[in-house]
Structure 1
Amino acid sequence: MRALLLFFTIFSTTLIYGQSGNTIADAISLDGVTTDLSILSSVTVTASGLTPVCGSNNEDVFYKHTPTSGDNKITIGMLSGALGAVLATVDYQILRANSGDVNDLTLVTCDSYGVALGIGGEFELVINNIIDTDVYYIRIYKMSGLGASLSGLLNGTTVSMVSVFDAALSSEDIAYNKIKIITKDNTIEVLNNISKYSDYEIYSLDGKQLFNVKSNSEVNSIDITSLNRGLYLLNLRNSNENYTYKFVKR
């Protein structure tokens, strides 16, 4: 289990510090406890340019968490104290880098929470049946509201990302969700084939069967060079069950 808390200390804005976390490529790792983290003031923080954007502001900072091998659940949250604004909104975005590849991102959620004077604000998101080779990112945007600033937000905010192995999650659900299918150019890669699918079929959306392959070994890779560009259905099968996946040949 990793209980990961990040506390932010904002230094004098008359000085300029090199900022980590300004893009997803240099996201600040939450794989340990970090204190006294220097960031730029809200005046000099820039937009990363990553799309899609959530919320009305573009200025953003990235943090990431890499699950421990075997973890199957992650909890991501933020807790903001009562800041110097009557009411402010914190926009955030959670992204998943499939197999840790920042060029293969899945948007988990775009959301926000309110921060009120004397009350503060918070959010928590629990994701079950994660794949432990994926990396999770939280992207925090400049706070909007009366007198709000990114440095003001981070000065009073704790960010936590915790991944664990939860034995209460059924092994059946874990096995079903852990399979991962990646389409790369002319190849489909089948990863984490826990159900040991050995046969597969590919159909066009009008129901025409294009592939029907039976094998005595697990499916790991499928050559789709002969397919034209378009949308298709892949059906993986074993003697007891099947798994259907929609993919795009580019």
Structure 2
Amino acid sequence: MLDGGFDFVELLRIIIDVALVWFVLYKLFMLIRGTKAVQLLKGIFVVLAIFFLSSIFGLQTVRWLMWQTIMWGPLAVIILFQPEIRRALEQLGRGKFFSRSYSEEQEINHSIEAIVKSCQYMAKRRIGALISIERETGMSDYVETGIAINGKLTSELLTNIFIPNTPLHDGAVIIKRDVIEAAACYLPLSESPFISKELGTRHRAALGISEVTDALTIVVSEETGSVSCTKNGELHRSLEDDALREILSSELKSIFAPATKSWNWRGKKNG
């Protein structure tokens, strides 16, 4: 550095260094968003917050427990985040880690139209279907109960899966963003005693998964051809195409834009 001057090369080096770190952290966050890793990450912040508070207030036993958790935490993170770490390394190997993200708005709109078109086709022909759409809570446990697809979501592919007497038509399809992750998946049945007796296994499975995750699940009845939707333990029945499209748009886009108006599950919109 020159006397009395400023080393602009060093400043540029610092800026590039910080920018690269932030970019990598951003890509890692984008990678784990919408998976169980996000919930685990929140748990880590809670543990750290308890540790600092216990230090401030002199809670020695709590501080010792939190310190042990922090000491063994990295090993636990590697074990718990194994799928996300593996996916990050795979993307890094394929050169996709630093690529630009696909337009989220375009991605969501494509998924919505594909699902609505498929449900419209199946409803007219009374083809039974069970479609669960992953939101913020990861559904990898349920994906593993089915047959892996990992195919681009299209109305044709989605419809073809549920054609009667085909190997994958029984069970649920699980969708993540614009990808059909798996078919013939097993979803937990709701044990609520308040479910109408006229509802079959598909509706009970749709309500069951909505009770344990924040997934949005669509049911096409093979008896009546009606389309229903569940979320957070609530069922909305006999949806027309426009109503289904509006629910999908409101609920899926709210993941990326929380200010978006949400659907009232009694059949009205909240402004």
Interval containing the TM-score (normalised by the shorter chain): under 0.3
Higher strand proportion (structure 1 or 2): 1
Q: Which has the higher contact order (CA 8 A, sep 6+)?
A: 1
Larger Rg: 1 or 2? 2
TM-score between both structures, scaled by the size of structure 1: 0.22
Higher helix proportion (structure 1 or 2): 2
TM-score between both structures, scaled by the size of structure 2: 0.21
